[in-house]
Amino acid sequence: MKILNFGSMNLDTVYQVAHFVGPGETISAEAVSVHLGGKGLNQSIALARAGAPVYHAGCVGRGGETLSELLRENGVHTEYLRPCGDMQGSAMIQVTPDGENCILLYGGSNQCLTEEQIRTTLEDFGPGDWLLVQNETNLLAEIVRQGAARGLTVVLNPSPFDEKIRTVDLSLVSWLLINEVEAFQLCGSSDPDTVRAYLHARYPSMNLVLTLGTDGSAAYAGGVSVRQAAFHAEAVDTTGAGDTFTGYFLTSLMRGEPLADCMRTASCASALSVTRPGAADSVPTREEVDRCLI
């Protein structure tokens, strides 16, 4: 069993600011640093550090070589990455003293996937394998359609949420991983039971994980429901916390661990990640998570 992540890779420029810049305002950043990120790459790193056999598929643009190197250094399989002539995808991230962030994305190379690349990549995967996607690449609906047609278990993290998500056939999705903002955008509510009822009425076989920031998280799968409190953490930078949660949750799930254990491990890993700056850099190792769970 292996997991294929068709996902983005970004060069993140992170500005430490007193507050988010407003319309028409100019402010000075207190510090700036460049990190490696992108929701796809962060989730592949989290899967690999958690111990999953992960294959990252996507496009490497101009200036993006360090991103594929980082994947390889972390044990992620990179043979399904393809070069493209566009600039590497990037993000401009503001981080405030309490660790909150806001993000401006440039898609670049992450928008270069082709139907042919999707088809040839998926030829090496089949029933028993898992497919993970976010919403930072093009052809999302096509990846989900082809992945489900080949019998993969499809996991969708519809982040960042936009109208493109409405083009995806959600009846093909086995696991939907969303935060409270995305839940509101998709279902008109972020109340866990309301979100569950809304989705269950439309997609009865879909399993759901809803993260709620400091209010913890909730999961619903095959009649089982779990509420998990957030682990306490002194937040330095919340960037990548959701991606860390996703990687650790899915690794436990693929190993067949009980849902409550999957949620606890993922919550712990994501709490550790917010205590550190950066995105991929902030994903804890398996040893760190295991030590924290004792």
With binding defined as CB under 6 A, does residue 12 bind ligand RIB? yes
User: Six-digit token pair at 175?
Assistant: 């696991």
For ligand RIB, give the closer residue by CB, 185 or 189: 185
Rounded least distance, CB 219 to ligand RIB, Å: 20
Per-residue binding letters, 64-103, with ligand RIB (x by CB under 6 A): ---------------------------x-----------x
Query: Would you tell me the crossing angle of helices 286-293 and 259-274 to the nearest 10 degrees?
Result: 110
Cβ-based neighbour number of residue 69 at 10 Å: 12
User: Count residues contacting ligand RIB (CB under 6 A)?
Assistant: 15
Question: Which is nearest to 20 in space by CA: 91, 107, 92, 105?
Answer: 92
User: Where does this chain touch ligand RIB (CB under 6 A) — which range of 22-30, 63-71, 166-174, 240-248?
Assistant: 240-248
Rounded least distance, CB 43 to ligand RIB, Å: 8
Q: Which residue has the tokens 């096509």?
A: 142
User: Where does this chain touch ligand RIB (CB under 6 A) — which range of 15-23, 38-46, 111-119, 125-133?
Assistant: 38-46
Rounded CA gap, 253 and 232, in Å?
Answer: 23
Residue nearest ligand RIB by beta-carbon distance: 37
> β-pairing, 31-37 with 10-16?
antiparallel
With binding defined as CB under 6 A, does residue 56 bind ligand RIB? no
Cβ-based neighbour number of residue 185 at 10 Å: 17
Can 243 be counted among the known catalytic residues? yes
User: Where does this chain touch ligand RIB (CB under 6 A) — which range of 33-41, 71-79, 120-128, 264-272?
Assistant: 33-41
Rounded least distance, CB 37 to ligand RIB, Å: 2
Looking at residue 256, its amino acid is G
> β-pairing, 3-6 with 90-95?
unpaired
With binding defined as CB under 6 A, does residue 279 bind ligand RIB? yes
With binding defined as CB under 6 A, does residue 239 bind ligand RIB? yes
For ligand RIB, give the closer residue by CB, 129 or 243: 243
User: Six-digit token pair at 59?
Assistant: 């496009």
DSSP 220-269: EETTEEEEEPPPP---S--TTHHHHHHHHHHHHHHTT--HHHHHHHHHHH
Strands across the sheet containing 10-16: 31-37, 10-16, 90-95, 101-106
> Active-site residue among 243, 261, 281, 290?
243
With binding defined as CB under 6 A, does residue 237 bind ligand RIB? no
HSE-up of residue 20 (Cα within 13 Å, Cβ side): 12
With binding defined as CB under 6 A, does residue 243 bind ligand RIB? yes
User: Where does this chain touch ligand RIB (CB under 6 A) — which range of 21-29, 221-229, 234-242, 264-272?
Assistant: 234-242
First to last CA, the chain: 28
- State which of positions 121-140 bind ligand RIB (CB under 6 A): 136
With binding defined as CB under 6 A, does residue 283 bind ligand RIB? no
Which residues are annotated as catalytic? Answer: 243
* Contact residues for ligand RIB, defined by CB under 6 A: 10, 12, 37-39, 42, 91, 103, 105, 136, 239-240, 242-243, 279
